[in-house]
Structure formats: C-alpha cells, structure tokens
Amino acid sequence: MTVIYSWNVNGLRAALKNGLMDWFAQTQPDILCLQETRLLPDEAPPELQRPDGYHVFWNPAEKRGYSGTAVFTKTAPLRAATLGIPEFDCEGRAQLLTFSDFTLVNTYWPNSQDERKRLAYKLAFCEAIGQTLDALVRQGRHVIICGDFNIAHREIDLARPKANENNAGYYIEEREAMTAFLARGYVDVFRCFHPDAVAYTWWSYRARARKRNIGWRLDYHCVDKSFLSRVKDIIICNDIYGSDHCPVALTLDKAPPGKKRTAP
C-alpha cells in the first residue's frame, strides 16, 4: 500500500517547533505533501532538506515568508514540475510529480480574502488546475490532487454555514467552482467514502474553536473516477496538532482490487 499525507503546516518554522519532525519520524509517510511552507529551501534545517530515505521537492513563493508547497517522497518520481503558469508559480501554488502509475498534484489554493479581493485569481487557479488535470487524463494518466483548497464545498463541510455565507472559503462562487471542478470527472475521496460524516481539517485559533470542533473541511484528496478503485481508505487525522490544519491521509492499494468502488 501507499499512504499519501497532505498537510497545511501554516509555516514550516512554526510546525518544526511544534513537533513536525517527531511526527514525520514516527509516521514515515510514503509521500508527504505540504502546503503553506513559507520557507525557502536553504532556510530549512538539514534534517528537512535531506531526510533519510526521502526525495524532496520544494516550490517556494517568490515573496519570502508566504505560501509555498513541498513534497517528500520515498519513491523518486519520473518527473517533477510546477504548473508552468507564471502568475501561480510565483506563489508556489502547485507541484506535479509523475510516478509510474499516477501523477500527484500538490496544491495550495488561494484564499479569496475579504470582500472577494482575490476571488478572480482563485477562480482562475481552479480553472487552470482543471485544465491541467484534464490534459493528463486525456494522455491516459491517472491523477491525484491533494492540498488545501481553501473551500468548504457543502453545508456539511463547515460547522456554521449560514453564518459564513459571506466569508472567504464559502462564497457561492467558490462552491460553484468546486462543483464544476468535480463535474469534470474527479471525486472528492473523503466525501465519497464518508458521505454523511461531519469532519473538519481547519479550525481558527480563536475562541477555542478546535476544542469545540467549530471547523471547516478545507483539505482534500481528489482522484479521477477511473482511479477510485485504487483507493483503500482516507482518514482525517484530527488528533494531530502542530498547525491550524490537521493532516489528511489517503491510502492506495498497490494493485487494483477485485471489487471496485464506483464514483457517485
């Protein structure tokens, strides 16, 4: 089996102080996708630059201390690239790693911000990601996209939907964009496996939100429908601290199982 973790660490420096390396050593994920690293590669400590048994791929933002993604993988990919679109690459928004049986896309979707200040930018990113994945699928590739999408797709995906209708992450335009993205032929794996589960991946640091479980599900693993048969399980690791987000773990079977799960 292959286990792919995705985690918005809300700054690698802070995550390291909060025990990231201990968790990493104990968990030993096959692949770890990080978002919001806010770190240049040469600013990382040696144990993070060259962890034993891992290949590391950094995708920092041009602006110091902002955004950025990184992937740690035990298996070397055949190819590693960014999205190839300057307006998104400059913020370290996406990485594409090609493995023998799938392409992994690690993403940190933009925050739309108050008063929809970056909504147009976010919607453009969503469309660019959709087109990129579509092109890979047309080439016969299976795709896994993971990361912090900064969208709570449906009412079940946040604790207080009515109170947040005019807040970034739950704007109607964002939810519609997520619906349109999935309609291209992709599956929200957690919601497919757990259609009625109330589970969150992000909690505000304010008002003891995490202790009270007043949260949002912003972090996703999605796959193309034909790859769903490879998925064995997905777990939101809400007992893991160190960030305002928690990790999400996707487990793949190494070979297609006899009984296939069908997409909704």
Token pair belonging to 141: 């590739």
CA dist 196 and 152 (Å) reads 15
SS3 content of the chain, % helix, strand, coil (to 5): 30, 25, 40
CA distance 187 to 189: 6
Taking a C-beta distance cutoff of 8 angstroms, is the pair 37, 65 a contact?
Answer: no
Decide if 196 is catalytic.
Answer: no
Q: Which residue from 46, 35, 42 is spatially nearest to 12, judged by alpha carbons?
A: 35
CB distance 9 to 20 below 8 Å:
yes
Q: Is the dihedral of CA 94, 190, 215, 9 positive or negative?
A: negative
Helix (H, G, I), strand (E, B) or coil at 186: strand
Give the separation between CA 87 and CA 94, rounded to whole angstroms. 11
Helix (H, G, I), strand (E, B) or coil at 96: strand
Spot the catalytic one: 42, 52, 148, 233.
148
Return the half-sphere exposure (C-beta side, CA atoms, 13 A cut-off) of residue 100: 4
Residue 23 contacts residue 51 (beta carbons within 8 Å)? no
CA 59, 64, 68: angle at the middle one, nearest 5?
A: 25
Catalytic residues: 148
